[in-house]
Amino acid sequence: MVGRIKANGALNAFITVAEDLALEQAKAADEARAAGAARPLLGVPIAHKDIFCTAGVRTTCASRMLADFVPPYDATVVEKMRAAGCVTVAKTNMDEFAMGSSNETSYFGAVRNPWNQDRVPGGSSGGSAAAVAARLVPGATGTDTGGSIRQPAALCGVTGLKPSYGRVSRFGLIAFASSLDQAGPMAQTAEDCAHLLAAMAGFDDRDATSLDVAVPDFVAGLRGDLKGLRIGIVKEHFAEGVEPRVLAVLRDALREYEGLGARLVDVSLPNSGHAVPCYYVLAPAEASSNLARYDGVRYGYRAEGYRDLEDMYKKTRGEGFGPEVKRRIMIGTYALSAGYYDAYYVKALKLRRLIADDFTRAFEHCDVLAGPTSPSPAFALGVKNTNPVSMYLNDIFTIPINLAGLPALSLPAGFVDGLPIGMQLIGRYLDEGRLLNVAHKFQEVTDWHARVPAGF
Protein backbone atom coordinates (compact mmCIF):
# COMPACT_ATOMS: atom_id res chain seq x y z
CA MET A 1 0.00 0.00 0.00
CA VAL A 2 2.67 2.49 1.07
CA GLY A 3 4.82 1.34 -1.86
CA ARG A 4 1.95 1.88 -4.30
CA ILE A 5 1.36 5.36 -2.90
CA LYS A 6 5.03 6.23 -3.34
CA ALA A 7 5.12 4.79 -6.87
CA ASN A 8 2.23 7.05 -7.92
CA GLY A 9 3.78 10.35 -6.88
CA ALA A 10 3.01 11.93 -10.28
CA LEU A 11 -0.62 12.42 -9.24
CA ASN A 12 0.60 14.49 -6.26
CA ALA A 13 -2.39 13.19 -4.30
CA PHE A 14 -0.52 13.10 -0.98
CA ILE A 15 1.32 15.67 1.08
CA THR A 16 2.64 13.33 3.77
CA VAL A 17 2.97 9.54 3.82
CA ALA A 18 2.67 8.32 7.42
CA GLU A 19 4.73 5.18 6.88
CA ASP A 20 5.74 4.50 10.49
CA LEU A 21 2.28 5.17 11.86
CA ALA A 22 0.70 3.01 9.15
CA LEU A 23 2.98 0.05 9.92
CA GLU A 24 2.38 0.40 13.65
CA GLN A 25 -1.41 0.60 13.25
CA ALA A 26 -1.47 -2.25 10.72
CA LYS A 27 0.48 -4.44 13.13
CA ALA A 28 -1.98 -3.59 15.92
CA ALA A 29 -4.88 -4.45 13.60
CA ASP A 30 -3.29 -7.80 12.70
CA GLU A 31 -2.84 -8.61 16.37
CA ALA A 32 -6.44 -7.64 17.15
CA ARG A 33 -7.66 -9.83 14.32
CA ALA A 34 -5.53 -12.73 15.52
CA ALA A 35 -7.10 -12.25 18.95
CA GLY A 36 -10.55 -12.66 17.42
CA ALA A 37 -11.67 -9.07 16.78
CA ALA A 38 -13.85 -8.68 13.68
CA ARG A 39 -14.90 -5.07 13.22
CA PRO A 40 -15.75 -4.16 9.60
CA LEU A 41 -13.03 -1.50 9.28
CA LEU A 42 -10.33 -3.37 11.21
CA GLY A 43 -7.06 -3.00 9.29
CA VAL A 44 -8.61 -0.99 6.43
CA PRO A 45 -6.06 1.58 5.20
CA ILE A 46 -7.40 5.10 4.76
CA ALA A 47 -6.01 8.55 4.00
CA HIS A 48 -7.06 11.72 5.81
CA LYS A 49 -7.39 15.03 4.05
CA ASP A 50 -4.56 17.20 5.37
CA ILE A 51 -7.09 19.44 7.14
CA PHE A 52 -7.64 16.90 9.95
CA CYS A 53 -5.23 17.26 12.85
CA THR A 54 -3.18 14.09 13.38
CA ALA A 55 -1.15 13.94 16.59
CA GLY A 56 2.53 13.68 15.75
CA VAL A 57 1.94 13.70 11.98
CA ARG A 58 2.46 16.94 10.06
CA THR A 59 -0.82 18.67 9.16
CA THR A 60 -0.39 21.47 6.64
CA CYS A 61 -3.84 22.39 5.27
CA ALA A 62 -1.78 22.68 2.04
CA SER A 63 -0.47 26.05 3.21
CA ARG A 64 2.98 27.48 3.70
CA MET A 65 1.52 28.86 6.94
CA LEU A 66 1.32 25.33 8.38
CA ALA A 67 4.01 23.62 6.28
CA ASP A 68 5.82 22.40 9.42
CA PHE A 69 2.89 22.20 11.82
CA VAL A 70 2.71 19.01 13.89
CA PRO A 71 -0.56 18.95 15.89
CA PRO A 72 -0.43 17.96 19.56
CA TYR A 73 -3.78 16.12 19.32
CA ASP A 74 -5.99 14.11 16.95
CA ALA A 75 -9.21 15.41 15.40
CA THR A 76 -12.29 13.56 16.70
CA VAL A 77 -12.77 12.02 13.23
CA VAL A 78 -9.20 10.71 13.27
CA GLU A 79 -9.63 9.34 16.78
CA LYS A 80 -12.95 7.63 16.00
CA MET A 81 -11.71 6.06 12.78
CA ARG A 82 -8.64 4.69 14.51
CA ALA A 83 -10.89 3.27 17.24
CA ALA A 84 -12.90 1.56 14.46
CA GLY A 85 -9.68 -0.13 13.32
CA CYS A 86 -8.71 2.04 10.33
CA VAL A 87 -5.02 2.39 9.50
CA THR A 88 -3.93 5.94 8.60
CA VAL A 89 -1.50 5.67 5.69
CA ALA A 90 -1.25 9.24 4.42
CA LYS A 91 -2.47 12.83 4.43
CA THR A 92 -3.99 13.97 1.16
CA ASN A 93 -3.33 17.08 -0.88
CA MET A 94 -6.04 19.75 -1.11
CA ASP A 95 -6.65 23.36 -2.00
CA GLU A 96 -4.98 25.68 0.52
CA PHE A 97 -7.24 25.94 3.59
CA ALA A 98 -9.88 24.15 1.46
CA MET A 99 -10.34 27.27 -0.66
CA GLY A 100 -10.62 26.17 -4.26
CA SER A 101 -12.46 23.90 -6.68
CA SER A 102 -9.50 22.51 -8.64
CA ASN A 103 -6.73 21.70 -6.16
CA GLU A 104 -4.52 24.24 -7.89
CA THR A 105 -4.24 26.52 -4.84
CA SER A 106 -2.19 23.98 -2.83
CA TYR A 107 1.20 25.21 -1.63
CA PHE A 108 2.42 21.69 -2.48
CA GLY A 109 1.31 21.89 -6.13
CA ALA A 110 -1.76 20.79 -8.04
CA VAL A 111 -3.16 17.25 -7.92
CA ARG A 112 -3.75 15.52 -11.25
CA ASN A 113 -6.91 13.68 -12.26
CA PRO A 114 -6.17 9.94 -12.70
CA TRP A 115 -8.58 9.78 -15.66
CA ASN A 116 -6.59 12.39 -17.56
CA GLN A 117 -3.52 13.89 -15.99
CA ASP A 118 -3.92 17.20 -17.82
CA ARG A 119 -7.21 17.70 -16.00
CA VAL A 120 -7.96 18.88 -12.48
CA PRO A 121 -9.30 16.41 -9.89
CA GLY A 122 -11.65 19.06 -8.49
CA GLY A 123 -11.35 20.49 -5.04
CA SER A 124 -10.84 21.10 -2.38
CA SER A 125 -10.65 17.39 -1.39
CA GLY A 126 -8.92 16.62 -4.71
CA GLY A 127 -6.13 14.51 -3.24
CA SER A 128 -8.61 12.25 -1.45
CA ALA A 129 -10.72 11.86 -4.63
CA ALA A 130 -7.71 11.17 -6.87
CA ALA A 131 -6.27 8.65 -4.37
CA VAL A 132 -9.53 6.68 -4.21
CA ALA A 133 -10.06 6.88 -8.00
CA ALA A 134 -6.52 5.57 -8.66
CA ARG A 135 -7.17 2.77 -6.12
CA LEU A 136 -4.23 3.92 -3.98
CA VAL A 137 -6.50 3.73 -0.91
CA PRO A 138 -9.97 2.19 -0.58
CA GLY A 139 -11.33 5.17 1.35
CA ALA A 140 -10.45 8.67 2.47
CA THR A 141 -11.87 11.53 4.46
CA GLY A 142 -12.82 14.87 3.00
CA THR A 143 -14.43 18.10 4.11
CA ASP A 144 -17.11 20.05 2.31
CA THR A 145 -17.81 23.77 2.78
CA GLY A 146 -19.31 24.51 -0.64
CA GLY A 147 -18.90 21.21 -2.52
CA SER A 148 -15.38 20.15 -1.57
CA ILE A 149 -16.28 16.45 -1.15
CA ARG A 150 -18.93 16.14 -3.86
CA GLN A 151 -17.31 18.06 -6.75
CA PRO A 152 -13.94 16.19 -6.65
CA ALA A 153 -15.85 12.91 -6.13
CA ALA A 154 -17.79 13.71 -9.32
CA LEU A 155 -14.73 14.76 -11.33
CA CYS A 156 -12.73 11.68 -10.28
CA GLY A 157 -15.54 9.10 -10.51
CA VAL A 158 -15.85 8.16 -6.83
CA THR A 159 -18.64 8.30 -4.24
CA GLY A 160 -18.53 11.08 -1.66
CA LEU A 161 -20.97 12.14 1.04
CA LYS A 162 -21.35 15.47 2.79
CA PRO A 163 -23.36 14.64 5.92
CA SER A 164 -25.89 16.98 7.55
CA TYR A 165 -24.30 19.88 9.40
CA GLY A 166 -23.61 18.67 12.94
CA ARG A 167 -23.61 14.93 12.16
CA VAL A 168 -19.79 14.65 12.24
CA SER A 169 -17.64 16.47 14.79
CA ARG A 170 -15.57 19.42 13.59
CA PHE A 171 -13.18 19.20 16.54
CA GLY A 172 -9.61 19.14 15.23
CA LEU A 173 -10.71 20.01 11.72
CA ILE A 174 -8.90 23.17 10.67
CA ALA A 175 -11.68 25.75 10.29
CA PHE A 176 -12.55 27.50 7.03
CA ALA A 177 -16.21 28.64 7.40
CA SER A 178 -17.58 27.20 10.61
CA SER A 179 -21.31 27.40 9.82
CA LEU A 180 -20.75 25.51 6.55
CA ASP A 181 -17.84 23.07 7.14
CA GLN A 182 -18.67 19.39 7.46
CA ALA A 183 -16.51 16.27 7.23
CA GLY A 184 -17.49 13.14 5.34
CA PRO A 185 -16.33 9.94 3.63
CA MET A 186 -15.06 9.34 0.07
CA ALA A 187 -14.81 5.80 -1.34
CA GLN A 188 -15.59 3.69 -4.39
CA THR A 189 -19.10 2.80 -3.30
CA ALA A 190 -21.99 4.04 -1.18
CA GLU A 191 -21.63 0.84 0.85
CA ASP A 192 -18.03 1.71 1.75
CA CYS A 193 -19.12 5.27 2.55
CA ALA A 194 -21.79 3.85 4.90
CA HIS A 195 -19.11 1.93 6.84
CA LEU A 196 -16.83 4.98 6.99
CA LEU A 197 -19.64 7.32 8.04
CA ALA A 198 -20.69 4.88 10.76
CA ALA A 199 -17.19 5.25 12.20
CA MET A 200 -17.05 9.06 11.81
CA ALA A 201 -20.52 10.16 12.94
CA GLY A 202 -21.80 10.87 16.41
CA PHE A 203 -22.08 13.40 19.19
CA ASP A 204 -18.90 15.09 20.42
CA ASP A 205 -18.87 17.30 23.49
CA ARG A 206 -15.80 19.13 22.14
CA ASP A 207 -17.74 20.60 19.18
CA ALA A 208 -20.44 23.05 20.33
CA THR A 209 -22.39 22.49 17.08
CA SER A 210 -22.27 18.69 17.23
CA LEU A 211 -25.77 17.19 17.25
CA ASP A 212 -26.74 15.04 20.19
CA VAL A 213 -28.98 12.71 18.18
CA ALA A 214 -28.96 8.95 17.63
CA VAL A 215 -26.85 7.71 14.71
CA PRO A 216 -28.83 5.24 12.58
CA ASP A 217 -27.32 1.97 11.29
CA PHE A 218 -26.18 3.24 7.89
CA VAL A 219 -25.06 -0.21 6.71
CA ALA A 220 -28.35 -1.95 7.56
CA GLY A 221 -30.14 0.99 5.92
CA LEU A 222 -28.58 0.22 2.51
CA ARG A 223 -30.95 -2.68 1.87
CA GLY A 224 -34.38 -1.04 1.50
CA ASP A 225 -35.88 -1.08 -2.01
CA LEU A 226 -36.82 2.10 -3.87
CA LYS A 227 -40.43 1.28 -4.78
CA GLY A 228 -42.49 4.45 -4.50
CA LEU A 229 -39.46 6.67 -3.82
CA ARG A 230 -40.17 10.20 -5.05
CA ILE A 231 -37.12 11.77 -6.70
CA GLY A 232 -37.35 15.51 -7.14
CA ILE A 233 -35.90 16.86 -10.37
CA VAL A 234 -34.82 20.44 -9.81
CA LYS A 235 -35.88 22.51 -12.80
CA GLU A 236 -32.99 24.94 -12.31
CA HIS A 237 -30.41 22.11 -12.41
CA PHE A 238 -31.49 20.95 -15.86
CA ALA A 239 -31.17 24.34 -17.50
CA GLU A 240 -28.74 26.14 -19.78
CA GLY A 241 -25.24 26.54 -18.42
CA VAL A 242 -24.87 22.79 -17.96
CA GLU A 243 -22.96 20.81 -20.59
CA PRO A 244 -25.74 19.03 -22.60
CA ARG A 245 -23.88 15.70 -22.56
CA VAL A 246 -23.74 15.87 -18.76
CA LEU A 247 -27.52 16.25 -18.70
CA ALA A 248 -27.87 13.29 -21.10
CA VAL A 249 -25.88 11.13 -18.65
CA LEU A 250 -28.15 12.29 -15.83
CA ARG A 251 -31.32 11.50 -17.78
CA ASP A 252 -30.07 7.94 -18.39
CA ALA A 253 -29.32 7.58 -14.69
CA LEU A 254 -32.80 8.77 -13.77
CA ARG A 255 -34.28 6.14 -16.10
CA GLU A 256 -32.39 3.51 -14.08
CA TYR A 257 -34.14 4.83 -11.00
CA GLU A 258 -37.52 4.60 -12.69
CA GLY A 259 -36.66 0.98 -13.46
CA LEU A 260 -36.04 0.47 -9.73
CA GLY A 261 -39.54 1.70 -8.92
CA ALA A 262 -38.84 5.36 -8.18
CA ARG A 263 -41.08 8.14 -9.45
CA LEU A 264 -39.74 11.45 -10.79
CA VAL A 265 -41.43 14.67 -9.75
CA ASP A 266 -40.64 18.21 -10.90
CA VAL A 267 -39.60 20.68 -8.23
CA SER A 268 -38.11 24.15 -8.20
CA LEU A 269 -35.50 25.90 -6.06
CA PRO A 270 -36.17 29.46 -7.27
CA ASN A 271 -33.50 31.11 -5.08
CA SER A 272 -30.68 28.62 -5.69
CA GLY A 273 -29.27 30.83 -8.45
CA HIS A 274 -28.35 33.38 -5.76
CA ALA A 275 -26.39 30.83 -3.74
CA VAL A 276 -22.96 31.59 -5.27
CA PRO A 277 -23.07 35.35 -4.52
CA CYS A 278 -24.46 34.61 -1.04
CA TYR A 279 -21.74 32.04 -0.36
CA TYR A 280 -18.95 34.34 -1.54
CA VAL A 281 -19.93 36.76 1.20
CA LEU A 282 -20.58 34.32 4.04
CA ALA A 283 -17.71 31.87 3.53
CA PRO A 284 -15.03 34.60 3.20
CA ALA A 285 -16.55 36.49 6.15
CA GLU A 286 -16.27 33.43 8.37
CA ALA A 287 -12.83 32.62 6.94
CA SER A 288 -11.47 36.10 7.59
CA SER A 289 -12.42 35.63 11.23
CA ASN A 290 -11.19 32.02 11.54
CA LEU A 291 -7.87 32.72 9.85
CA ALA A 292 -7.10 35.64 12.14
CA ARG A 293 -5.46 33.06 14.43
CA TYR A 294 -2.47 32.69 12.06
CA ASP A 295 -0.38 35.46 13.52
CA GLY A 296 3.08 33.91 13.74
CA VAL A 297 2.95 33.75 17.53
CA ARG A 298 1.58 30.41 18.74
CA TYR A 299 2.24 28.00 15.87
CA GLY A 300 2.92 27.94 12.18
CA TYR A 301 5.01 30.18 9.99
CA ARG A 302 6.68 33.40 11.16
CA ALA A 303 8.34 35.77 8.69
CA GLU A 304 11.84 37.05 9.25
CA GLY A 305 13.09 40.64 9.33
CA TYR A 306 10.19 42.60 10.84
CA ARG A 307 10.22 46.03 12.52
CA ASP A 308 7.59 45.53 15.21
CA LEU A 309 4.62 43.35 16.18
CA GLU A 310 2.25 44.73 13.53
CA ASP A 311 4.89 44.39 10.83
CA MET A 312 5.46 40.80 11.97
CA TYR A 313 1.74 40.02 11.62
CA LYS A 314 1.57 41.58 8.18
CA LYS A 315 4.72 39.96 6.80
CA THR A 316 3.86 36.58 8.33
CA ARG A 317 0.36 36.58 6.87
CA GLY A 318 1.41 38.13 3.56
CA GLU A 319 4.08 35.45 3.04
CA GLY A 320 2.34 32.51 4.73
CA PHE A 321 -0.96 32.63 2.82
CA GLY A 322 -1.30 32.00 -0.91
CA PRO A 323 -3.20 34.25 -3.38
CA GLU A 324 -6.65 32.63 -3.10
CA VAL A 325 -6.60 32.61 0.70
CA LYS A 326 -5.60 36.28 0.79
CA ARG A 327 -8.30 37.11 -1.77
CA ARG A 328 -10.96 35.54 0.45
CA ILE A 329 -9.65 37.14 3.63
CA MET A 330 -9.84 40.50 1.83
CA ILE A 331 -13.43 39.91 0.63
CA GLY A 332 -14.52 38.74 4.06
CA THR A 333 -12.86 41.61 5.88
CA TYR A 334 -14.47 44.08 3.46
CA ALA A 335 -17.94 42.50 3.86
CA LEU A 336 -17.70 42.68 7.64
CA SER A 337 -16.24 46.18 7.83
CA ALA A 338 -18.15 49.22 9.08
CA GLY A 339 -20.46 50.63 6.42
CA TYR A 340 -20.71 47.37 4.42
CA TYR A 341 -21.88 44.88 7.07
CA ASP A 342 -25.62 45.31 6.38
CA ALA A 343 -25.31 45.58 2.60
CA TYR A 344 -23.21 42.44 2.27
CA TYR A 345 -23.18 40.23 5.34
CA VAL A 346 -26.74 40.70 6.63
CA LYS A 347 -28.12 40.67 3.08
CA ALA A 348 -26.38 37.34 2.46
CA LEU A 349 -27.79 35.88 5.70
CA LYS A 350 -31.30 36.80 4.53
CA LEU A 351 -30.70 35.14 1.18
CA ARG A 352 -29.42 32.11 3.02
CA ARG A 353 -32.84 31.82 4.69
CA LEU A 354 -34.64 32.03 1.32
CA ILE A 355 -32.36 29.38 -0.17
CA ALA A 356 -32.89 27.03 2.80
CA ASP A 357 -36.69 27.57 2.71
CA ASP A 358 -36.74 26.52 -0.96
CA PHE A 359 -35.50 23.07 0.07
CA THR A 360 -38.13 22.74 2.80
CA ARG A 361 -40.84 23.42 0.22
CA ALA A 362 -39.32 21.06 -2.38
CA PHE A 363 -39.18 18.21 0.16
CA GLU A 364 -42.95 18.47 0.65
CA HIS A 365 -43.23 16.86 -2.78
CA CYS A 366 -40.34 14.38 -2.83
CA ASP A 367 -37.96 12.28 -0.70
CA VAL A 368 -34.64 13.12 -2.34
CA LEU A 369 -33.49 15.53 -5.04
CA ALA A 370 -31.29 14.45 -7.97
CA GLY A 371 -29.26 16.40 -10.50
CA PRO A 372 -25.73 17.04 -11.75
CA THR A 373 -23.00 17.58 -9.15
CA SER A 374 -21.01 19.84 -11.45
CA PRO A 375 -21.97 21.59 -14.71
CA SER A 376 -19.11 20.00 -16.70
CA PRO A 377 -16.61 17.13 -16.53
CA ALA A 378 -13.11 17.82 -15.15
CA PHE A 379 -11.61 20.91 -16.78
CA ALA A 380 -7.99 21.35 -17.84
CA LEU A 381 -5.31 22.45 -15.36
CA GLY A 382 -4.48 26.14 -15.61
CA VAL A 383 -7.69 27.19 -17.36
CA LYS A 384 -9.94 28.55 -14.61
CA ASN A 385 -7.37 29.43 -11.95
CA THR A 386 -6.71 32.82 -13.53
CA ASN A 387 -10.36 33.89 -13.21
CA PRO A 388 -11.77 33.52 -9.68
CA VAL A 389 -15.36 34.24 -10.70
CA SER A 390 -15.49 31.47 -13.33
CA MET A 391 -13.96 29.08 -10.76
CA TYR A 392 -16.58 30.04 -8.17
CA LEU A 393 -19.49 29.46 -10.57
CA ASN A 394 -18.37 25.87 -10.93
CA ASP A 395 -19.92 25.12 -7.52
CA ILE A 396 -23.40 26.39 -8.37
CA PHE A 397 -25.13 23.05 -7.65
CA THR A 398 -23.24 22.16 -4.48
CA ILE A 399 -23.16 25.47 -2.57
CA PRO A 400 -26.92 25.77 -1.79
CA ILE A 401 -26.76 22.52 0.19
CA ASN A 402 -24.09 23.82 2.59
CA LEU A 403 -26.05 27.04 3.11
CA ALA A 404 -29.07 24.96 4.12
CA GLY A 405 -27.00 22.44 6.15
CA LEU A 406 -28.47 19.42 4.32
CA PRO A 407 -26.80 16.09 3.47
CA ALA A 408 -25.82 15.41 -0.16
CA LEU A 409 -23.90 12.73 -1.98
CA SER A 410 -22.19 12.47 -5.37
CA LEU A 411 -21.94 9.12 -7.16
CA PRO A 412 -20.56 8.11 -10.56
CA ALA A 413 -23.34 8.17 -13.19
CA GLY A 414 -21.52 7.86 -16.53
CA PHE A 415 -18.79 9.33 -18.72
CA VAL A 416 -18.29 12.17 -21.21
CA ASP A 417 -15.10 12.07 -23.33
CA GLY A 418 -13.66 9.43 -21.02
CA LEU A 419 -14.17 11.62 -17.96
CA PRO A 420 -16.50 10.64 -15.11
CA ILE A 421 -19.77 12.47 -14.45
CA GLY A 422 -21.27 12.71 -10.98
CA MET A 423 -24.91 12.65 -9.97
CA GLN A 424 -25.79 14.60 -6.85
CA LEU A 425 -28.47 13.30 -4.48
CA ILE A 426 -29.71 15.75 -1.85
CA GLY A 427 -31.61 14.68 1.25
CA ARG A 428 -33.67 16.08 4.09
CA TYR A 429 -31.86 17.15 7.23
CA LEU A 430 -30.35 14.08 8.96
CA ASP A 431 -31.55 11.80 6.15
CA GLU A 432 -28.07 10.76 4.91
CA GLY A 433 -29.02 7.12 5.51
CA ARG A 434 -31.56 7.39 2.74
CA LEU A 435 -29.01 8.96 0.39
CA LEU A 436 -26.64 6.03 0.97
CA ASN A 437 -29.52 3.60 0.35
CA VAL A 438 -30.58 5.36 -2.87
CA ALA A 439 -26.99 5.46 -4.12
CA HIS A 440 -26.33 1.83 -3.17
CA LYS A 441 -29.38 0.58 -5.11
CA PHE A 442 -28.11 2.42 -8.22
CA GLN A 443 -24.67 0.86 -7.79
CA GLU A 444 -26.23 -2.62 -7.61
CA VAL A 445 -27.53 -2.22 -11.18
CA THR A 446 -24.73 -0.09 -12.74
CA ASP A 447 -20.95 -0.41 -12.87
CA TRP A 448 -19.82 3.22 -13.33
CA HIS A 449 -18.37 3.19 -9.82
CA ALA A 450 -16.33 0.06 -10.61
CA ARG A 451 -14.50 1.53 -13.62
CA VAL A 452 -10.81 2.12 -13.02
CA PRO A 453 -8.73 4.74 -14.87
CA ALA A 454 -6.17 3.26 -17.29
CA GLY A 455 -2.80 2.55 -15.70
CA PHE A 456 -4.07 2.17 -12.12
The region of 28-36, 220-228, 252-260, 288-296 touching other proteins under the rule CB under 8 A is 288-296
The region of 150-158, 221-229, 240-248, 291-299 touching other proteins under the rule CB under 8 A is 291-299
Q: How far is the CB of 148 from other proteins (least distance, A)?
A: 16
Asked if residue 352 binds other proteins (CB under 8 A), the reply is yes
Cβ(408)–Cβ(427) under 8 Å? yes
Asked if residue 287 binds other proteins (CB under 8 A), the reply is no
Q: How far is the CB of 359 from other proteins (least distance, A)?
A: 11
Asked if residue 375 binds other proteins (CB under 8 A), the reply is no
Rounded-to-integer distance, Cα 108 and Cα 16, Å: 10
Site residues (CB under 8 A) for other proteins, limited to 414-453 = 429
Which strands sit side by side in the sheet containing 14-17, from one edge to the other? 14-17, 87-92, 45-49, 139-144, 182-187, 159-162, 408-416, 419-427, 368-372, 230-234, 263-267
The residue within the footprint of other proteins, chosen from 329, 409, 419, 425 (CB under 8 A), is 329
> Which one, 251 or 293, has the nearer CB to other proteins?
293
Asked if residue 278 binds other proteins (CB under 8 A), the reply is yes
- Enter the DSSP assignment of 9: G
In Å, how far from its chain's centre is CA 216?
Answer: 22
Nearest to 143 by CA among 106, 104, 178: 178
Asked if residue 171 binds other proteins (CB under 8 A), the reply is no
The region of 74-82, 107-115, 350-358, 360-368 touching other proteins under the rule CB under 8 A is 350-358
Cβ(82)–Cβ(75) under 8 Å? no
> Which one, 244 or 386, has the nearer CB to other proteins?
386
Nearest to 91 by CA among 30, 22, 193, 37: 22
Asked if residue 215 binds other proteins (CB under 8 A), the reply is no
User: Could you give the dihedral angle defined by the CA atoms of residues 93, 98, 100 and 102, in that order, rounded to the nearest 10 degrees?
Assistant: 20
Three-state DSSP at 389 gives helix
Site residues (CB under 8 A) for other proteins, limited to 33-62 = none
Partners of 49 in the beta sheet? 92
The region of 82-90, 109-117, 209-217, 368-376 touching other proteins under the rule CB under 8 A is 209-217
Cβ(27)–Cβ(36) under 8 Å? no
Asked if residue 202 binds other proteins (CB under 8 A), the reply is no
Asked if residue 301 binds other proteins (CB under 8 A), the reply is yes
Asked if residue 331 binds other proteins (CB under 8 A), the reply is yes
Q: How far is the CB of 254 from other proteins (least distance, A)?
A: 28
Asked if residue 296 binds other proteins (CB under 8 A), the reply is yes
CA 321 vs CA 26, 50, 107: distances in Å: 36, 16, 9
Cβ(145)–Cβ(180) under 8 Å? yes
> Which one, 252 or 337, has the nearer CB to other proteins?
337
CA-angle at 235, arms to 232 and 240, nearest 5°: 140
Q: Which residues are catalytic?
A: 49, 124, 148
Three-state DSSP at 360 gives helix
Nearest to 51 by CA among 153, 160, 145: 145
- Binding residues for other proteins, total number by CB under 8 A: 70
Rounded-to-integer distance, Cα 52 and Cα 156, Å: 22
Asked if residue 240 binds other proteins (CB under 8 A), the reply is no
Asked if residue 238 binds other proteins (CB under 8 A), the reply is no
Interacting residues with other proteins (CB under 8 A): 69-70, 72-73, 164-166, 179, 205, 208-209, 211-212, 271, 274, 276-278, 280-281, 288, 292, 295-302, 306, 308-315, 317-319, 321, 323, 326-327, 329-331, 333-335, 337, 344, 346-354, 356, 388-389, 392, 404-405, 429
